[in-house]
Amino acid sequence: MTNRWIFAVLSVCLGIPSVASAQPKVDMSRGELLYTTHCIACHNEQIHWRDKKIAKDWGGLKAQVSHWQGVAGLAWSDSDIVEVARYLNVRHYHYPERVQ
């Protein structure tokens, strides 16, 4: 019991500074991180709330994300694509998310 307490206290003491310095924006989701790292360069956010959207539903949005990560040569996995599509959906599109 005592050892476990010492371990817990130690990991908290050692953990907090490293978490704080390694991840200054802990509230950023993986999708947001990927998008802001790789996608914002060419188009600003306005592209996602213009009237004539290309992405007309959840499937179309995923297809666009998949297309653009290909254009950028990123070779994202399906889960990366879903994470970014989900981030954009929550933030801009608000389509019902379907399993496809």
Distance set, CA 17 to CA 10, 14, 22, 24, 25 (Å): 12, 6, 8, 11, 14
Q: How far is the CB of 6 from ligand HEC (least distance, A)?
A: 46
Question: In the Cβ-directed half-sphere of 56, how many Cα atoms lie within 13 Å?
Answer: 2
47 binds ligand HEC (CB under 6 A): yes
CA 4 to chain centre: 35
Among 1, 12, 22, 71, binds ligand HEC (CB under 6 A): 71
Asked whether 100 and 62 are in contact (CB, 8 A), the reply is yes
Among 65, 82, 83, 86, binds ligand HEC (CB under 6 A): 65
Say how many residues touch ligand HEC, by CB under 6 A.
21
Among 68, 83, 86, 89, binds ligand HEC (CB under 6 A): 68
90 binds ligand HEC (CB under 6 A): no
